[in-house]
Chains A and B, each alone.
Chain A
Amino acid sequence: MPYLGAEPAPSALEVATTDIADDAVTLAKMVSGTDGNIISYDASGDPVAIATGSDGQVLTSTGAGSPPAFEAVSGGFEALIGSTVISNDATIDFTVDTTYDIYKFVIVDCVPATDNVEFRMRFGDSSGIDTGASDYAWFISGSRVSGATAGSTTGGEQARDNLDAQMVLAMDSSGGSNDVGSAAGEGVNYIIHVFANETSGGTMDTTYTGMGVSFDPAGICYPRFSGGNRHTPLVLTTVQFYFSSGNLSTGRITCFGLKHAA
């Protein structure tokens, strides 16, 4: 039936806030929007839809006077680059880039498939892994600290090479044959920092330091300090870990990127 009165048509009537009961407005009554948008307020205090953003972005404050926004997570000073669970691999490679100044490798329960082997590392650039016969220098100090022969050797042992095809991280630093064992309870735990100086315009060689422990084939523990370099700076793209013979059997290696400013 048509409206015949003199008053304004109902469609022109305003509904006061007090005319709406609490909890009366359902989601179905709201105007449709864009999938994933979030309602906020703009600088004028009016409602505004925050654009959905992309996968992996987080809602970030943009400060007073503007609505928040979905933005990429800042990597901060330290970020997880990757983590590899070892399962009978000849080598473990991590791809790195120029984003970070230092790369930290956390090596846990790394066990060789072959008994009595050295644990080694190499660097690579866009040309591949550097296997040059005299491109690396390395040093290890360590000492036996447990087992049946504890105390029967000198307090410290050292090994080094200034022209080698790899960097040795764990070995019998007395030069003998008590390298890394493969039995239960043997293997390597290590933390290594690789300094990719070229990423920040530095001219020093690509260098590393490491601290860890290894257990030899007799189950004897050797705490380690190690360090070394590749003889000329490398635009680092790859860091590789492996044993001198046979596969890496089990364990896990995780790579973190570190930088001076977020």
Chain B
Amino acid sequence: MANYIKNVDGVKIEMSDEEHAARVAEEKAWEDNKPVKAFRGLRNERNQKLAETDFYGISDLTMSDEMKAYRKALRDLPASYNNSTVVGTITWPTKP
């Protein structure tokens, strides 16, 4: 299989074996790290959604059971995914 092609000043050049190997290794590292990134993103967005409903918990408001269930589902969401599924589509609970 031919090595990757780099473009230097508009000229296409086949990478050397060393350059190609380094590039392949970099791409593998990127792919291997995808679940870590996906979980980080999931938690960031989950935390944002929790923050949006935090005010229901203040003392002069009564949080509905639906809101309690929604917030629990958000908190439990990361645990319902694994390294394979987290890189796919995330199904978020519906905000009441």
Chain A contacts to B: CB under 8 angstroms: 82-86, 88-95, 117-118, 131, 152-154, 165, 172, 174-178, 244-247
Tell me the minimal C-beta distance from A141 to chain B in angstroms. Answer: 15
Question: Looking at the complex, which one of A85, A91, A172 makes contact with B37 (CB distance below 8 Å)?
Answer: A172
5 contacts between A and B (CB under 8 A): A88-B5, A91-B6, A178-B41, A244-B30, A246-B27
In Å, the complex CA distance between A85 and B45 comes to: 37
> What are the interface flags for B25-48 relative to A under an 8 Å C-beta threshold, 1 for contact and 0 otherwise?
011001100100110111011001
| Cβ–Cβ < 8 Å partners of B30 in chain A | 117-118, 244-245
- The 8 A CB mask of B65-91 against A (1 = contact, 0 = none) is 000000000000000000000010000
Which chain A residue lies CB-closest to B10? A84
Instruction: Select B41's contact among A84, A92, A131, A174, beta carbons within 8 Å.
Output: A174
Alpha-carbon distance A90/B19, docked complex (angstroms): 11
**Nearest A-chain residue to B8, judged by Cβ:** A93
Q: Is the interface of B mostly helix, strand, loop or mixed?
A: helix
CB distance from A92 to the nearest CB of B (A): 5
CA distance A95 to B8 in the complex (A): 7
- With A154-B48, A245-B31 already in contact, the answer to whether A90 and B40 are too (CB < 8 A) is no
Which of A86, A89, A90, A95 has the most C-beta atoms of chain B within 10 angstroms of its own C-beta? A90
Kindly state the interface size class of chain B when it binds its partner. Answer: 20 to 34
The binding surface of chain A is classed by DSSP as loop
A86-B41 contact in complex given A244-B30, A245-B30, A246-B27, C-beta closer than 8 Å? no
Kindly state the separation between the CA atoms of A84 and B5 in the bound complex, as whole angstroms: 14
A118-B30, A246-B27 known; 9 new pairs, CB 8 Å cut-off, are A89-B5, A90-B4, A90-B6, A90-B15, A92-B6, A93-B9, A175-B44, A176-B42, A177-B38
Whole-angstrom distance between the Cβ of B33 and the nearest chain A Cβ: 9
Taken together as a complex, chains A and B put the C-alpha atoms of A231 and B23 apart, in Å, by 22
The answer to whether A94 and B87 have CB atoms under 8 Å apart is: no
Expressed in whole angstroms, the Cα–Cα distance for A105 and B1 within the complex equals 33
Known: A90-B15, A152-B48, A172-B41. A177 touches B9 (CB 8 A): no
Q: A89-B6, A177-B38 are in contact. Are A131 and B22 (CB under 8 A)?
A: yes
Complex Cα distance, B90 from A178, in Å, reads: 12
Whether the Cβ atoms of A176 and B5 lie closer than 8 Å is: no
A220–B10 CA distance with the chains assembled, in angstroms: 31
A89–B14 CA distance with the chains assembled, in angstroms: 10
Asked whether B45 lies within 8 Å of A174 as measured between CB atoms, the reply is yes
Instruction: Look across to chain A and name the residue whose beta carbon is closest to the beta carbon of B14.
Output: A90
